[in-house]
């Protein structure tokens, strides 16, 4: 985990230097930004949805009578998480459209 975080930090820190030097064209930076946008959003959304689902199942297992009271807030939370991922997808499409 620490190696991955270090690698991502180094990669993101190097972009301004590469862009200013002209080593990377504008289109390649936009393509990389679009790829990072959707990949990070999908990863975060998947982790959050898994957490919401696991917490809801744990709550239902502890108190089965609360299933009806927990169902609607769980679905709303999942919908809001998914809407953020779709928003990131729209941003990625806009970045790809600029290439």
| Structure tokens belonging to residue 45 | 């959304």
Is residue 18 one of the residues assigned to a domain?
no
Instruction: Give the per-residue pLDDT at 19.
Output: 58
Is residue 3 one of the residues assigned to a domain?
no
Express each pLDDT in 83-99 by its tens digit. Answer: 999 998 898 888 888 87
Predicted structure pTM score: 0.68
79 is in which domain, residue-wise? 26-97
Express each pLDDT in 19-74 by its tens digit. Answer: 555 555 667 778 888 888 888 889 999 999 999 999 999 999 999 998 999 999 99
pLDDT band at 12 (very low <50, low <70, confident <90, very high): low
Give the domain CATH number at 70.
Answer: 1.20.20.10
**Cα→Cα distances 67→56, 75, 96, Å:** 9, 12, 43
């Amino acid at each position: 985990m620490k190696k991955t975080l270090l690698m991502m930090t180094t990669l993101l820190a190097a972009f301004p230097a590469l862009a200013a030097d002209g080593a990377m064209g504008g289109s390649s930076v936009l393509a990389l930004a679009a790829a990072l946008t959707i990949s990070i959003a999908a990863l975060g959304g998947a982790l959050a949805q898994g957490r919401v689902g696991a917490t809801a199942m744990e709550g239902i297992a502890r108190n089965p009578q609360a299933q009806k009271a927990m169902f609607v807030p769980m679905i709303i939370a999942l919908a809001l998480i998914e809407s953020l991922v779709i928003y990131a997808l729209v941003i990625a499409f806009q970045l790809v459209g600029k290439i």
